[in-house]
Amino acid sequence: MLCQECGEREASLHFTKIINGEKTEFHICDVCAKDKGEYLPGGKSFSIHQLLSGLLDANQPFSQTAKQRSSQKPRPQLRCESCGMTYKQFADIGRFGCADCYQHFDQKLDPVLKRIHGGNSVHGGKIPKRRGKDMHVYREIETLKQQMQEQIEAEEFEQAAETRDKIRSLEETVQKKGGDAS
């Protein structure tokens, strides 16, 4: 498709603007996009936090029209009980207020994190040495549980039973340790 501004170059930027239910489409090339600059999303004036706040917007689907939006029932505002930040504020500035925000906004985070981190929403890296002693074991239990589920779905019941036994013995070691400490 050719750029609708200059009609010379291949259009590389395609976007749809919907204002009050009225839909407009643009197809333009890089060069013309730069000329238009500020009027377009992705222009230089956009900071990472502004971009993020677009991703985090509470009333998500971008294509919703104003009419549909207003017909939605107002939902109770999500708020972090520890630092008082609301989800709306978080979405506006693109940053959490404290560590507990992650808990309080949890129901909304999976899609957000997946979009930012290439489809991932669960940590797979380092675990702190002192604070995270048992977490190594818990992590293994988690993967085994997933494995068991897959085995059940594939009707490999014998293997699933073996996996279940592994999970049990791991769970026992963690509980025992906890019991010793108390």
Instruction: List residues binding another protein (CB under 8 A).
Output: 44, 47-49, 52, 56, 82-83, 85, 93-99, 102-103, 109, 112-113, 116-132, 135, 138-139
At 22, give phi and psi (nearest 5°): -95, 125
Minimum CB distance to another protein, residue 137 (Å): 11
Minimum CB distance to another protein, residue 103 (Å): 8
Compare residues 26 and 90 and give the one whose CB is closer to another protein: 90
Minimum CB distance to another protein, residue 50 (Å): 12
Compare residues 108 and 156 and give the one whose CB is closer to another protein: 108
DSSP the chain: -B-TTTSSSBP-EEEEEEETTEEEEEEE-HHHHHHHGGGSTTSTT--HHHHHHHHH-SS--TT--HHHHHHSPPPPPPB-TTT--BHHHHHHHS--SSTTHHHHTHHHHHHHHHHHTTT--S--S---TTTTTTHHHHHHHHHHHHHHHHHHHTT-HHHHHHHHHHHHHHHHHHHHHHHHH-
Q: Are strands 22-28 and 13-19 parallel, antiparallel or unpaired?
A: antiparallel
Minimum CB distance to another protein, residue 79 (Å): 13
Compare residues 102 and 157 and give the one whose CB is closer to another protein: 102
Token pair of 148, please?
Answer: 């068991």
How far apart (Å, rounded) are the C-alpha atoms in residues 116 and 15? 20
Compare residues 128 and 179 and give the one whose CB is closer to another protein: 128
Minimum CB distance to another protein, residue 125 (Å): 4
Compare residues 98 and 161 and give the one whose CB is closer to another protein: 98
Minimum CB distance to another protein, residue 24 (Å): 27
Compare residues 16 and 47 and give the one whose CB is closer to another protein: 47
